[in-house]
Structure 1
């Protein structure tokens, strides 16, 4: 499975970059799935809905299915958070999986960076960050792209994972 990450500190532009990359890469005829790490509690379900009621009643897993999409919710109920590898094993085959977050995992990544946040760069101390997408020029030992140059960032990622020819 080809895998590439987008990482960075909070409000660095990760989600916007992910969204643009998915749009760009799928427009080239490739299939893409995403995995996003959340550091906070989240819910895709709503109180009062049947699937919510199933989870509240104690179901370990709830699958919500329709003609348009399937949601598979797993209640950890105190169990360890799943590793990225275990989550990737659940995905159907695609050309590329883009991962948002998971800073400490060892897959290759692009760091999103916005100067206004005041955060330091992760890249200088992390060799898994192969490039930086920034809203300001930076002098680094690896490629630096304009944060909004989605085409160039997509080209870089596809080249890195060996899909550049497939997307032509």
Structure 2
């Protein structure tokens, strides 16, 4: 599986870009999975649901299955967060995995940047960032700057980077 990341400051457009890239790249016939890193205690389950009740009772893992999808919830229960590589090993094979977040990991990335956030470019200090997708032309970028709203051009860049 080939990996490519989307990173950036909060509210810079990471999730929106990943969503658009998934749609564009799958439209081209390439299979895609995603990994999203959350810095907070993300809970995908709802209080009162059977699966939630199973976890609250102490289950280490709860697998929920239906005719249209399945999901495996794994409780860390105080154990450290697993490394990205361990999580990737759990994915089914696809052509490309888009990774949102994980800015300190070694895989190549594109940085989302919005002038209105007032944050500096991460690319200046992070050699794994290969391009910036921005709503402006940030000064001092040593990597290519792409239009944040040009999904097709960003997809072309990512696919060329990973050889697809």
* Structure-2 residue corresponding to 1:149: 150
Q: TM-score, normalised by structure 1?
A: 0.96
Q: What is the CA-CA distance between 1:42 and the residue it aligns to? A: 1.3
1:59-98 aligned at under 5 Å gives the runs: 59-98=59-98
Partner of 2:5, secondary structure, is strand
* Alpha-carbon distance between aligned partners in 2 of 1:148 and 1:87, rounded to the nearest angstrom: 30
Q: What's the RMSD between the two structures over aligned residues?
A: 0.6
- Where structure 2 has 5 or more consecutive residues not aligned to the other structure, the ranges are none
Partner of 2:85, secondary structure, is helix
Partner of 1:123, secondary structure, is coil
Deviation string 1:68-124 (CA, Å, 9 cap, x unpaired) is 111100000000001110000000000000000001001000000001111111001
Q: What is the CA-CA distance between 1:142 and the residue it aligns to? A: 1.4
Q: Which ranges of 4 or more aligned residues in structure 1 deviate by more than 3 Å?
A: none
Q: Are 1:51 and 2:40 counterparts?
A: no
- Where structure 1 has 5 or more consecutive residues not aligned to the other structure, the ranges are 164-168
